[in-house]
């Protein structure tokens, strides 16, 4: 399913292909090569009164090559190819579309012991939340409607400087129209309080204007026997562009607060999050008034409650269930009563392979947050593999 307003750029695709060809021709004195690949099939089921179903098949490849001692230079390439078939009400209206998306393609250079330079198309991760990141002013937002959307990066140059208790990141984004280039910075302070990390960010471009934010991630009860594995976190963002696509000089604020509990001696965790957007929709939405090319509908509601449960090992009875994991995310809009439930079953029974079955359910009428797309549910089967090669230096 294509996200409204998203476009591919043929020049970037050609550049990525050339980049990957160059990677294959590099000398073999590289220290490490990693390859990640995935193949998936999707089926989207819509409200039959509005639109018929669609299906897609995709193939993705992510390659990392480290050159020089101690990873002083690395190349990253991540490309997705997909074929979509859309079923129309009239069978003669069925159509097939193809798309080649360059998710990430960049070079990372270690300039000195603590200084790194990255140039290319990369997803720059800002924020500490699971389902929402209000302070992520640069990337395409996480979305329940298309899992592949979260892989798409931004053309940028990033300079990172790391110290024991803090880190500084400065970046320049370079869209197709360079007059909309952006400038951003992130300053992180670790252990500023009792087991707490603080991140302060700022970003400006001509389109969204000024964006400011901060994030905190803390484990305040580390000394408590019962609550030592409880973490609290939050993000607060101020933006001059409304989540509804309105461009004004006033600042609109968004907030995410969460609590996460990790079961002792396991990787199982439970998280509850609350998301608030000051200028989001209060109640029901008029589909005709939605500026599809400018908004992200999952960030456009005033209130969202999000519950996540991740259980990486269902049981230790046998080797199969020991490698079987379950993740479920429930998102609820308390104003219009719409909701979504995403469940994911993963298996790593085969070495270096990950098999995933995912089901997403959406509930709500056409004037609600999760009913606006007329999407009832989607099914996804995904197979991923991982391969790694080391060379003697």
Residue 122: name the closest of 64, 71, 72 by CA: 64
In percent, the amount of the chain with pLDDT more than 90 equals 30
User: Per-residue pLDDT tens for 177-225?
Assistant: 888 899 999 999 998 877 899 999 999 998 888 999 999 999 988 777 7
Q: Could you tell me if residue 285 is inside a domain?
A: yes
Q: What is the largest CA-CA distance in the chain?
A: 66
Using DSSP's 3-state secondary structure scheme, residue 203 falls into strand
User: How many structural domains compose the chain?
Assistant: 1
Residue 2 forms part of a structural domain: no
* 1 occurs within a structural domain: no
How far, in Å, CA of 199 to CA of 216, rounded?
A: 6
Of 366, 363, 134, nearest to 256 by C-alpha is: 134
DSSP track, 347-393 = E--STTEEEEEEEEEEE--TTSTTTTT-EEEEEEEEEEEEEEEE---
Domain span at residue 237?
Answer: 10-390
Which CATH number characterizes residue 104's domain? 2.40.160.100
Per-residue pLDDT, averaged over 256-261, amounts to: 96
pTM (2 decimals)? 0.84
- Cα gap 44→23, rounded to integer Å: 36
In a domain, 5, yes or no: no
- Is the residue at 324 inside a domain? yes
- DSSP of 27-79: -TT-SEEEEEEEEEEEEEEE-TTT---EEEEEEEEEEEEEESGGGSEEEEEEE
What single-letter DSSP state applies at residue 93?
A: G
Domain membership flag for residue 94: yes
Tens of pLDDT along 140-175? 776 777 766 677 888 999 999 999 899 999 999 988
Residue 3 domain-assigned (yes or no): no
Which stretch of 69-83, 125-139, 224-238 has the lowest confidence by average pLDDT?
A: 69-83
The answer to whether the CB of 333 falls within 8 A of the CB of 276 is no
Asked if residue 351 has pLDDT above 50, the reply is yes
* pLDDT tens track for 92-136: 667 888 888 888 889 898 888 899 999 999 988 889 998 889 999
Task: Tell me what pLDDT residue 89 has.
Answer: 61
* Percentage of the chain modeled with pLDDT above 70: 80
Looking at the DSSP bridge assignments, the partners of residue 235 are 215, 256
Q: What are phi and psi of 242, to 5 degrees?
A: -70, 150
């Amino acid at each position: 399913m294509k996200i409204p307003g998203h476009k591919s750029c043929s020049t970037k695709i050609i550049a990525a292909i050339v980049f990957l060809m160059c990677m294959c021709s590099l000398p073999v004195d590289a220290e490490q090569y990693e390859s990640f690949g995935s193949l998936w099939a999707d089926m989207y089921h819509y409200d039959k009164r509005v639109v018929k179903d669609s299906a897609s098949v995709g193939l993705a490849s992510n390659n990392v090559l480290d050159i020089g001692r101690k990873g002083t230079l690395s190349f990253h390439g991540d490309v997705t190819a997909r074929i979509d078939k859309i079923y129309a009400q009239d069978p003669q209206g069925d159509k097939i579309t193809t798309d080649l998306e360059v998710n990430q393609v960049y070079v990372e250079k270690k300039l000195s012991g603590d200084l790194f330079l990255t140039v290319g198309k990369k997803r720059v991760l800002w924020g500490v939340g699971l389902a929402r990141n209000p302070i992520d002013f640069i990337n395409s937002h996480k979305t329940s409607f298309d899992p592949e959307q979260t892989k798409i990066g931004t053309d940028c140059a990033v300079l990172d400087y790391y110290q024991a208790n803090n880190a500084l990141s400065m970046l320049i984004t370079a869209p197709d129209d360079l007059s909309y280039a952006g400038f951003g910075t992130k300053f992180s302070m670790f252990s500023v309080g009792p087991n707490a990390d603080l991140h302060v960010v700022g970003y400006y471009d001509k389109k969204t204007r000024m964006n400011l934010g901060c994030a905190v991630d803390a484990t305040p009860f580390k000394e408590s026997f019962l609550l030592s594995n409880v973490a609290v976190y939050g993000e607060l963002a101020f933006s001059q562009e409304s989540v509804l696509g309105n461009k004004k000089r006033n600042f609109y604020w968004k907030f995410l607060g969460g609590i996460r509990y990790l079961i002792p001696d396991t990787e199982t965790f439970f998280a509850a999050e609350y998301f608030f957007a000051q200028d989001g929709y209060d109640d029901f939405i008029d589909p005709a008034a939605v500026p599809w090319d400018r908004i992200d509908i999952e960030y456009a509601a005033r209130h969202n409650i999000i519950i996540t449960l991740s259980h990486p090992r269902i049981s230790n009875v046998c080797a199969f269930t020991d490698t079987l994991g379950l993740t479920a995310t429930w998102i609820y809009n308390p104003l219009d009563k719409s909701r979504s439930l995403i469940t994911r079953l993963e298996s790593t029974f085969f070495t270096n392979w990950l098999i995933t079955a995912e089901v997403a359910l959406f509930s709500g009428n056409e004037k609600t947050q999760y009913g606006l797309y007329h999407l009832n549910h989607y099914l996804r089967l995904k197979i991923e593999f991982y391969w790694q090669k080391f060379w003697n230096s």
